[in-house]
């Protein structure tokens, strides 16, 4: 996850507009600072793990004081929950933008599966951090809800692709919720096995076979 820079707001010299712009600029600075802090938290947790970091580690990485962190986040849990939400939103937004203007549901399905399987290759730190957060779901209901929403979001996106394919007569009359649930389960299992031992199987070859299986289940043969 990266900290995105935003454009500087130009203040007007006087009047009501100037007060409004100052307010907007203050909110913008706060948003950038929060993103800067959560971005640093992401990097630190990826390196040290959930249990082995301090707020001072994050402050040093972000280049801010620990007091500034407490100014924007009331406690450690609040900051971590914010980070988890940002991670979830970043991944889902990236996927949705990629398939947004793709008219062919079969192509959308192909892109969705590629991006899902590529996470463990291209965004391995994201996967590590997500698994670190999973260790907390027994003790932290907020994190459990956010992670549940993350995987529900994956299922819903896949379901919508399958429904679109059915409407356009490209896909069979499948149970889209079942297939989406099965695919996410396979995805998580493959991620875990690959992270534990990436020499135990040919990840690319096996994921291609899973994609072939998914298409065999949904595509209407011409």
Answer yes or no: do 196 and 86 share one domain. Answer: yes
Give how many domains the chain has, as a whole number. Answer: 2
Among 137, 185, 133, 131, smallest CA distance to 158 is for 185
Query: Measured in whole angstroms, how far is the alpha carbon of residue 184 from the centre of its chain?
Result: 14
Same domain, yes or no: 101 and 46: no
- For the stretch 45-77, pLDDT in tens is 888 887 888 889 999 999 988 888 888 888 888
pLDDT of residue 146: 83
Judgement on whether residues 109 and 1 belong to the same structural domain of the protein: no
Range of the domain at 169: 75-222
Give the pTM: 0.75
| Domain shared by 148 and 221, yes or no | yes
Could you tell me which residues come within 8 angstroms of residue 174 by beta carbon, excluding any fewer than 6 positions away?
Answer: 162, 166, 217, 218
pLDDT tens, 76-92? 888 888 888 888 788 78
């Amino acid at each position: 996850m990266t900290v995105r820079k935003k454009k500087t707001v130009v203040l007007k010299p006087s009047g009501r507009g100037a007060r409004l712009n100052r307010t907007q600029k203050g909110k913008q600075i706060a948003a950038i600072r929060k993103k800067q802090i959560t971005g640093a938290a992401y990097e630190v947790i990826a390196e040290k793990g959930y249990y082995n970091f301090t707020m001072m580690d994050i402050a040093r990485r972000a280049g801010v004081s620990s007091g500034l962190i407490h100014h924007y986040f009331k406690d450690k849990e609040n900051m971590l929950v914010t980070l988890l939400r940002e991670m979830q939103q970043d991944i889902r937004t990236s996927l949705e933008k990629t398939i947004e203007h793709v008219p062919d549901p079969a192509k959308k399905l192909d892109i969705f599966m590629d991006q899902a399987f590529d996470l463990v290759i291209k965004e391995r730190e994201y996967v590590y951090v997500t698994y670190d957060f999973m260790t907390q779901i027994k003790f932290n209901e907020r994190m459990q809800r956010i992670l549940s929403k993350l995987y529900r979001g994956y299922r819903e996106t896949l379901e919508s692709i399958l429904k679109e394919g059915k409407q356009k007569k490209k896909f069979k009359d499948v149970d889209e919720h079942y297939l989406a649930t099965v695919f996410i389960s396979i995805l998580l299992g493959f991620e875990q096995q690959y992270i534990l031992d990436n020499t135990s199987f040919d990840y690319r070859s096996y994921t291609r076979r899973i994609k072939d299986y998914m298409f065999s289940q949904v595509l209407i043969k011409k």
